[in-house]
Structure 1
Amino acid sequence: MSKRAVLAFALLVPLLGSCAPVASLLASRDDTGPAPFQFGPLIVGQTWTVSGTVTGRDVVTTVNIPELVIVPDGYASAGTRDQYTGFNEGRAGFNVATFDQERRTVTFRWVGPAEGFDRVTYTCKISRLIGEPLTGTLTYERNGQTVANGTCEARVSQQPG
């Protein structure tokens, strides 16, 4: 081996060693799989607890994020057809989380238990997506008409994985 070849090899050895941490990070990333899909604060696999007070009563629901699908203006945990059906039929317990990418807001909507023959829905709209818990405005509707507004908060109760 010539002196040039030995010198070139000697210069490359430290560079190869510096690649080891990157290779190690990539290998561990491959072992755990890709990161869950995320849009705004919503991450596939999360569970959110949403609570609030309106008309003197406390309400609470749990919203799972099994997937994020494209809907008008953003992403949601349920498709538009499922949302329409769930709310139109007044299926108590049906809920959805939506991230509006233009307005940078998160909305949690759910169907509450019927009050007599009235269909009840709640909407927690959050426009400030900083901090924990996220806080916003809670709207209480009966048969599609707003009855009252209150306050709400949403916090992640379970992370993916």
Structure 2
Amino acid sequence: MLKRAVLSLALGLPLLLGACAPVNSLLASRDGGEKGPLQFGPLAVGQTWTVSGVVDSRNVVTTVTIPDLVNVQGKFASYSARDEYTGFNDNRAGFAVASYDPDRRSAEFRWVGDAGAGSFDKVTYTCKLDNLTGTPLIGVLTYGRNGQTVANGTCEANLNGQS
């Protein structure tokens, strides 16, 4: 009986390893076969971006780190959907998420803003980048309060260490 179980496992092992091939290809670097950090579009694990802009007559700036890239509803994001939901739902000022949509070839940086002392409002900023060429990346900045868009402006995203 034990021999049959071991034999079944041994015969099934190539199938299991073959099933890992798509995951392995996702984990491979996009740079011609060289090993490097996981990357999708302009985002790569280990990067730090500075995102700034002007909206509703105010200057805003945040720093967004890319600790990981996970598939979240067809996009590649720096945090899982649960972490993103928790960060935004708990209104954690400074919590930021970067994402890349391979279908639209666009990137987005979203973060929770500081609503001010004593305020229970939920303030969010979104920098949407449809053109991913050039340095810095230029896009549209949206300022939201309590789930409603308040104003739009412009934003730019700079990969730290590049100018």
TM-score bracket, normalised by the shorter chain, equals 0.7 to 0.9
Partner Cα distance (2:51, 2:145) in 1: 19
Aligned position for 1:135 = 138
Offset of 1:136 from its aligned partner?
Answer: 0.3
Match for 1:34: what amino acid?
A: K
Where 2:114 maps in the other structure, the secondary structure is strand
Unaligned segments of structure 2, at least 5 residues: 1-33
Deviation per residue, 1:81-137 (Å, 9 max, x gap): 111111111111100000011111100000011242211000000000000000000
Which is richer in strand? 1
**Alignment-derived partner of residue 52 in structure 1:** 53
Distance in 2 of aligned mates of 1:155 and 1:59: 14
- 1:140-151 to 2 correspondence within 5 Å? 140-151=143-154
Distance 1:144 1:82 in 2: 18
Counterpart CA distance in 1 for 2:102 and 2:87 is 23
Deviations 1:33-69 (Å, cap 9, x if unpaired)? 8211100000111000000000110000000001101
C-alpha RMSD of matched pairs (Å): 1.3
Corresponding residue number in structure 1 for 2:42:
41
Aligned to 1:92: 93
For 2:156, which of 132, 153, 157 is the aligned residue?
A: 153
SS across alignment from 2:91: coil
Secondary structure of the corresponding residue to residue 122 of structure 1: strand
Query: Does residue 124 of the first structure (1) align with residue 127 of the second (2)?
Result: yes
Distance in 1 between residues matched to 2:159 and 2:74, nearest whole Å: 23
The one-letter amino acid paired with 1:95 is A
Give TM-score, length-normalised by structure 1.
0.76
Deviates more, 1:33-42 or 1:43-52: 33-42
Counterpart CA distance in 2 for 1:60 and 1:102 is 28
Q: What is the identity percentage for the equivalent residue pairs of Structure 1 and Structure 2?
A: 64
Provide the rounded CA distance (Å) in 2 between the counterparts of 1:92 and 1:114.
8
For the Cα contact (< 8 Å) 1:49–1:62, is it kept in 2?
Answer: yes
SS at match of 1:53: strand
For normalisation by structure 2, the TM-score amounts to 0.75
Tell me the number of residue pairs that the alignment of Structure 1 and Structure 2 aligns.
127
Q: Is the 8 A contact 1:46 1:158 kept in 2?
A: no
Query: Radius of gyration: which is bigger?
Result: 1
Counterpart check, 1:72 vs 2:73: yes
